[in-house]
Amino acid sequence: MLVNRVRYLIATGAVGLALCAACVGSAMAGSFDPPPIADQPSTEHHVGKVIWAELVTPDLAGSERFYAGLFGWTFRDLNSGDRHYAVALLDGEPVAGLVQHLVKASDKRQPFWLTFLAVQDVDAATSAAVGHGGKVVVEPRTYNSRGRQAILTDPQGAVFAVIASYSGDPPDYLAAPGGWIWSSLLAHDADTAAAFYQTVFGYEVFDLENDDGMQHVILSTDNYARASVNTLPADSARRHPHWLNFVRVADAADAATKAVALGGSVLVPPRVDRHGGKLAVIADPAGAPFGVMEWTDADSKEEPK
């Protein structure tokens, strides 16, 4: 049977993201040992699940003020030498990382959220990605506290990270307001993008019926929807494929209004999706885009049967 309301998400042409691979590498490289993604380790492993997100921003202090005001996040600063890093906490539990990377005046690339996908073997995942048209931004590396990770791009240029976490993967439960609830890849060709990620992560792939003329593909593992792949609008040939992560909120319109008051901007105004809930896409004051969305108890992220 079909489970209740499998969500699909697509950001409209208002979102145009260009990431600098060199910036990603310089921001994430170095001797800094990032913290584990969970304070309380688990033995769970969910290949293909988005288990972490990391903000690359030129203004760490400003980002902390913005996300604290918007989502109620608190922060644990972990600075080492010239490396400025903070762990964002939701109700005392780690929810994201923030790393400061100064942007040159001549650099037209914008700050962004980096999406981390769980794997059991980072080197094998990296080899599979490269063998099917992906590229390595930061080579696989083991960190004493966090585990092993690498930063890659898919064949269409979207940047993402793979991680084998020493603290295990978060269990499959519905995120509370203020937590990450969904991730969406926007690509020029959704089918070929989905095939790439299926090869690397072993996803099951489901096409969703739609009447908007665009492709909407669900990626799932463990009978659970992990992410969607959506086609960028036809007028977005110059826009760069990218991952977009969504935070659960009680009211998307209120979140958008609050984001603007805190210095952010609305890229996609709050709108009702096919299931009656609202979503919006926002940029923080430094320009990093992310989404907010409502979710009711009737919704499910399990895969279609």
Question: Which CATH number do you get for residue 206?
Answer: 3.10.180.10
Quick one: 151 and 189 in the same domain?
no
Of 142, 165, 188, the domain-final residue: 165
In-domain check, residue 13:
no
Cα–Cα distance for residue pair 222/237, rounded to 1 Å: 34
C-alpha 152: how far from chain center: 14
Quick one: 148 and 200 in the same domain?
no
Among 41, 7, 303, 1, which Cα is nearest to 183's? 7
Name the pLDDT band for 299 (thresholds 50, 70, 90): low
Quick one: 70 and 158 in the same domain?
yes
Quick one: 207 and 247 in the same domain?
yes
In-domain check, residue 301:
no
pTM: 0.89
CB 56 within 8 A of CB 99: yes
Looking at this protein, which amino acid is placed at residue 225? A
Asked whether residue 13 carries a pLDDT value surpassing 50, the answer given is no
Asked whether residue 124 carries a pLDDT value surpassing 50, the answer given is yes
Quick one: 26 and 158 in the same domain?
yes
Average of pLDDT values for 57-73?
97
Of 107, 135, 165, the domain-final residue: 165
Min mean pLDDT across 22-36, 132-146, 223-237, 250-264 is at 22-36
Q: Count of domains in the chain?
A: 2
Averaged confidence pLDDT in the chain: 86
Quick one: 159 and 187 in the same domain?
no
Quick one: 161 and 187 in the same domain?
no
Higher pLDDT, 1 or 95: 95
Quick one: 188 and 218 in the same domain?
yes
Min mean pLDDT across 76-90, 130-144, 176-190, 193-207 is at 76-90
Confidence at residue 108, expressed as pLDDT on a 0 to 100 scale: 60
Range of the domain at 118: 21-31+42-165
At a CB cut-off of 8 Å and minimum separation 6, what does 272 contact? 278
Quick one: 27 and 134 in the same domain?
yes
Phi, then psi, of 17 in degrees rounded to 5: -120, 130
289-293/242-248 β-pairing: parallel
Average of pLDDT values for 17-35?
61
Quick one: 234 and 273 in the same domain?
yes
Residue 287, helix vs strand vs coil: coil
Confidence at residue 7, expressed as pLDDT on a 0 to 100 scale: 40
Name the pLDDT band for 240 (thresholds 50, 70, 90): confident
Q: What is the DSSP letter of 106?
A: T
Asked whether residue 192 carries a pLDDT value surpassing 90, the answer given is yes
CB 255 within 8 A of CB 70: yes
